[in-house]
Amino acid sequence: MLQKEKIAFIGTGVMGKSIVKHLLAANYEVTVYTRTKEKAQSLIDQGANWAETPAKASKQKDIIFTMVGFPQDVEEVYFSENGILESAKQGAIVVDMTTSQPTLAKKVYELAKEKGISSLDAPVSGGDIGAQNGTLSIMVGGDQEAFDRLLPVFEKFGSNIVYQGEAGSGQHTKMCNQLLIATNMIGVCESIAYGLKAGLDLDKVMQSISTGAAGSWSLSNLGPKMLNGNYNPGFYIKHFIKDMKIAIDEAEAMGLELPGVKLSKEIYNTLLERGYGDNGTQALIKYYID
């Protein structure tokens, strides 16, 4: 029975922690690893097991999730001597939920396949709110058979789960998602900045525009945070800049120019230089009103 399969989860940050909580609530046995044990302590207190390395966390597990910060972190947790592929058993499925490079997703897939391990790239969208509510959008690349096996697990923390195709397809789909957010966030911030300069009641403005043609997830969920000066990270600026760089690099490799995302990355880089890298992406408003 799938419910009895043992799970490892590598990376318990803002998103990973909420996902593990859903897995524990569904009575899965979950072993966690993150660089700083204290960041996983609340999960351990709720019943998760702790492992000292990704390799130890992965040993004899049926499903191994990873959700780390950057592509180099993905390479470390999968390919190092204390990494996942050194200890994962044949027949296991590794699932990288990090937003990372499609080419790296294909590399993980090929090296895992050589060891008799299935691999899925399954980045998510929905932010900390979606993770907490178990309503994440999950875009998945890899083999259909592995996806079908994992679908009941994905359903514990996601509500829109779509198989996109071969390895790397999940990451390419996430790039499409991030490109939309990158340019939309500029529009949200410029709309708010304009409303402030015009002396409008921004709560009333939000009431009018959020449900019309200009409505978006960013406007409805991050707009109020901007108005309240709440820059706590649901998604870090430093990680979003990483995503935009991946999208730009992948697009250039395909001969595609993306001026909108380049502008967004330039503005976010300005905020990074000002020391706001650990703020949430909604801190983009600081570029306009500080």
Q: What are the residue numbers of the active site?
A: 174
Q: How far is CA 286 from CA 168, 186, 242, 246, in A?
A: 35, 12, 20, 24
- For residues 236-252, one letter each, b for 16 or more C-beta atoms within 10 angstroms of the residue's C-beta and e for the rest, the string is bbbbbbbbbebbbebbe
The runs of H, that is alpha helices, within 38-168 are 41-45, 54-58, 71-79, 84-87, 102-114, 127-133, 144-154
Residue 122 in contact with residue 154, Cβ under 8 Å?
yes
The one-letter amino acid at 253: A
Q: Residue 121 burial (CB < 10 Å; 0-12/13-18/19+)?
A: buried
Q: How far is CA 56 from CA 11, 21, 215, in A?
A: 14, 21, 46
Q: Report residue 273 as tokens.
A: 């230089």
Say which residues have a Cβ less than 8 Å from residue 52's Cβ, sequence separation at least 6: 33
Reduced to 3 states, what is the DSSP secondary structure of residue 163? strand
